[in-house]
Copies of this chain bind each other. A is one copy, B any other.
Amino acid sequence: MRKETSPITKIVVPAGGIGGARFLRGLQRAAPDADITVIGNTGDDISLFGLRVCPDLDTVMYTLGGGINEQQGWGRDDETFSVKEELARYGVGPGWFGLGDRDFATHIVRNQMLDAGYPLSAVTEALCERWLGPADDQRLRLIPMSDDRVETHVVITDAQGRRAVHFQEWWVRLRASVPAESIVAVGAEDAKPAPGVLDAIADADAVILPPSNPVVSVGTILSVPGIRPAMAAKTVVGVSPIIGGAPVRGMADACLTAIGVETSALAVAAHYGPELLDGWLVDTADAPDADAAVAGITVRARPLLMTDVDATADIARAALELAAELR
């Protein structure tokens, strides 16, 4: 077994949902002694049935806490759907968003705390005490990018005309089948980073961008004023979410197209830009010609399929090694 010798012990990871959560599990395996601060995307958050649902925070929390549905990558294990079925019997929707009974409990607790006036960061910390252990003992800490409401909306044109829909409606209900004309993080420009976000970045040895959606996950986090420049001042290494010209999972291509970025590993690196990104891992399938490299970004090719936790730990280790080199 290979001994980890990286000097990187304080790590910040801006993460979306499934891809980010799975990468984090590998990162924990690769760097068991590191302090990891996860800055969670909240642009996908949505109010359903009067309850505040935070899909990306929950996916990270459930995955790292051992409560995730491993097959689908989101939602709770051993889940049942009595509440949802009953809501449908009352004629109350939407039915397209799959909230299970165990998952409902999370949203009920969150909503109760939010209604009582706690900010989302405090609510998230309270929920994480169950999944990640007492706050003071956590090697991995999850903080929402902001306590302010930021909501990703997608402009589409369909039978109802040109209109903005909530990201979840486009992503989950429409399965991104209608082209996104634009994607807007509503409220982002007035949002402040949540308490602890800027401190964690300032204190970090490196920022690792996981293979989360570069537009609606990492991109939304970076759109909160203050976060991008704070990260840019650090060593930042990213893992490409695009392998062989296609997203490994999800529909990141539809999001990239909406913002005019080609669906390729290098185009994503160029989109992040050399002022943010120092190093970039691409899959061996995307190993660039010398000509194709992005100026100012060190690109390294290696297998990037997160087939299991061991393979994912190898990817995380490669990212940490590259960060250590580039510091």
Contacts and interface: CB of A to CB of B under 8 A. Distances in A.
Q: How many copies does the complex hold?
A: 2
Nearest to A112: B50
A203 to B, nearest CB: 29
Given A127-B90, A130-B91, A83 B101 contact: yes
Contact of A112 (B49, B91, B100): B49
Interface string A67-85: 0000000000000101111
Nearest to A114: B50
Given A127-B90, A130-B90, A80 B109 contact: no
Contact of A115 (B50, B84, B85): B50
A102 interface: yes
A106 interface: yes
Contact of A108 (B51, B91, B100): B51
A158 interface: no
A83 B104 contact: yes
Contacts of A108: 49-51, 83, 87, 104
A217 to B, nearest CB: 26
Interface of A: 49-51, 80, 82-87, 89-92, 100-102, 104-106, 108-109, 111-112, 115, 127, 130
24 contacts: A49-B108, A49-B109, A50-B108, A50-B111, A50-B112, A51-B108, A80-B80, A80-B82, A82-B82, A82-B101, A82-B105, A83-B101, A86-B102, A86-B104, A86-B106, A89-B105, A89-B130, A90-B106, A90-B109, A90-B130, A91-B130, A92-B112, A104-B104, A104-B108
